Amino acid sequence: MKAILLLNLFAVGVAIVAPNEFLASNSYMLYGLQLITMIPYLLREAVYVENLFLPTFFVLVYFLVNMTFGSLLVPMDYGIDKEFTDIALSINTYNLIVPFLLLSNMILFWLTAGSLRQLRDVAPLVQELVQRGTQPHSHAALLMFPVLVVPFAALAYLDVYMAFSFQLVILLAHLTDPSLRGKWYRWPIYGGYLVAMVAFDFDNKREIAMSLFLMIFLEVYYSRTPLRFGLRNLIGYAASALAFFALVLAASIMRGYGSFQVTSMVDAFSYIPQYMTSELFADGLTDNLELNFNYGVTITSIDQTLRGIIDYQHGASLIKVLFLPIPRDSIPYKPESVMQLFTRIYAPERWLEDGSLPVMFASDMFMNFNYLGLLPFALVWGGINRLFVAFHTVTPRSFAFYSCAFLVITVLMFARGSGLELWLLYYLFAIPMMVVVRLLANGLRVGSREQSRWII
């Protein structure tokens, strides 16, 4: 680990002294160095597949992929929306931007390594908790599916405010039911929920992704699947990645990428080979994975702060969490999130249309405190990692269990740049739904003469 940290500190030094013109087109080499040194080491330390969902590891992979491929493709003019190409090539503050982003990745790496050690220490307790409350001869979970999938699909179709909070609670309550463990029909149940999301909510590919992540996470958590790299394991990992990739492409086709005449989800899947061989695919994939926006907004927001276009926020985007329940009309001086601030200044026309440009948390902290933002960056992500460790030590299906699982799976929203307050708002909306769904689940068990209780 020391060798990796020293090598990455060397990369930071290179970013400080390298010519700005070189970094504008070649900073992908430095992010790529972090990708190929940090991730293999952490994979070796993870032990169990479910540990790959550790928030800082998950975010580190997400960020390194975006920074490595974004810094490569955006200056080369890839992407359907090319608004950040000229900006990326014209920025003259890379010697401050790139070292900060490299250091933030090093913090995520260090936090991940520490949390993985904690997870190894609690592994015996996790095994005991997973085995508690199994109901091998019950089929209550199968009876619950037709009842729960209807409101789940309706929420996707109606697209009401914070609908995904409610949908995710339905998935948590159902997919953690002890009677589902080890049953063959859990796979059709997983598929049924995913089909409902892709069919009725294809615009929200991030929500589809988080639903799929939850299913994979719970499956490997309950099975205690070790992380191995034999041929069969690699084939399984590749198959999972392809399934996720296919879902993203199908949802993108249904959104209009490729201009295919799509009438159903089945049509969208059938057009995937044609889409992948089209001239649009490289640009479309850059947009599908949001490489242009994630990379472009990350560097542009920091650059505009350095040039004084955006004022330093001095912690305003952090304390905004304290004002969550209070309408802005009641308190005119309620702090704005960095996402709101950046969008209004950088893209006022998008702001007027109720659009927004998410700013990743590393950039958020720079816009608050400059390089001192690395300290709150480390503290916040360290706290989020504690939720993941706590999930493995609390009673299964308790309120704490559901809360930790919800916050860990939705961390993609926070990582992508929604802001701390919006991520927590999704959780606040989920709390009453947890009660409603559990009451419904308990009622179904009583009707099928099963005994159950919810441990708070």
Q: Give pTM, 2 decimals.
A: 0.87
- Partnered with residue 48 across adjacent β-strands are 226
Contacts of 170 (CB under 8 A, 6+ apart): 148, 151, 152, 433, 437
Tell me what the mean pLDDT of segment 191-197 comes to.
87
Tens of pLDDT along 289-345?
778 888 999 999 999 999 999 999 998 888 887 777 676 667 767 777 888 889 889
Q: pLDDT value at position 449?
A: 44
For every residue of 89-155, DSSP letters joined together read HH---HHHHHHHHHHHHHHHHHHHHHHHHHHHHTHHHHHHHHHTT--TT--HHHHHHHHHHHHHHHH
3 state SS of 278: coil
Q: pLDDT value at position 133?
A: 56
Tens of pLDDT along 426-440?
898 898 887 776 666
Tens of pLDDT along 355-410?
788 899 999 999 999 999 999 999 999 999 999 999 999 888 888 889 999 999 99
Shortest CA distance to 164 belongs to which of 427, 360, 437?
A: 427
Q: pLDDT value at position 444?
A: 52
Contacts 24+ apart (CB under 8 A), 271-276: 272/246, 275/249, 276/249
